[in-house]
Amino acid sequence: MVQPLEDLYGRVATDLRVSLTDRCNLRCSYCMPAEGLEWLPDEATLSDDEVVRLVTIGVRMLGVREVRFTGGEPLVRRGLVDIIRRTHDLGGVETSITTNALGLQRTAVALREAGLDRVNVSLDTVRSDTFAQITRRDRFHDVVAGLAAAKGAGLGPVKVNAVLLRGVNDDQAPELLRWCLERGYELRFIEQMPLDAQHAWNRTAMVTAEEIFAALDREFTLTPAVEPRGSDPAELFLVDGGPGTVGVIASVTRPFCGDCDRVRLTADGQVRNCLFARQESDLRTAMRAGASDQELADRWIVAMRGKLAGHGIDDPSFLQPDRPMSAIGG
Tell me the whole-structure pTM to 2 decimals: 0.93
The total number of structural domains in the chain stands at 1
In the predicted structure, residue 180 carries a pLDDT above the cut 70: yes
Distance set, CA 168 to CA 10, 29, 56, 197, 259 (Å): 41, 11, 42, 19, 32
- Average pLDDT of the chain is 92
Strand duo 15-19 + 262-265: pairing: parallel
Q: Return the pLDDT at 197.
A: 67
Of 308, 305, 325, 313, the C-alpha closest to 255 is 313
DSSP run (H or E) holding 72: none
CATH of the domain at 323: 3.20.20.70
Is there a contact between 15 and 261 (Cβ–Cβ < 8 Å)? yes
What's the rounded mean pLDDT across residues 290-301?
98
User: Which amino acid is located at 167 in the chain?
Assistant: G
Give DSSP secondary structure letters for 215-259.
HHHTT--EEE-SS--TT-SSEEEEETTSS-EEEEE-TTTS--GGG
Q: Return the pLDDT at 33.
A: 81
Reported as a single tens digit per residue, the pLDDT across 3-59 is: 999 999 999 999 999 999 999 999 998 888 888 777 889 999 999 999 999 999 999
Q: How big is the chain by its Cα radius of gyration, in Å?
A: 19
How would residue 252 be classed by pLDDT, with cut points 50, 70 and 90?
confident
Domain residues for the domain of 210 are 5-328
How would residue 330 be classed by pLDDT, with cut points 50, 70 and 90?
low
Which DSSP state fits 297?
A: H
d(CA 286, CA 290): 7
